[in-house]
Amino acid sequence: MKGYNTSNVYMGYVEGKYILFASEQEYFEFMED
């Protein structure tokens, strides 16, 4: 898992591309599924 915060969203790296998430927490929850 990797990603970075932007001004008000979190860019999470998923399967070779970055996807916008509302927060880092949302990204972690997405990756757990």
Nearest one of 29, 33, 32 to 10, comparing CA atoms: 29
Q: What is the pLDDT of residue 20?
A: 96
| Per-residue pLDDT tens digits for 1-31 | 789 888 889 999 999 999 999 999 999 999 9
Which of left, alpha, beta for 2 (phi over 0: left; psi -120 to 50: alpha)? Answer: beta
**What pTM value is reported for the model?**
0.71
The tokens describing 15, both together, are 């399967």
Q: What is the pLDDT of residue 7?
A: 87
Distance (Å) of CA 1 to CA 18, 23, 32: 11, 14, 10
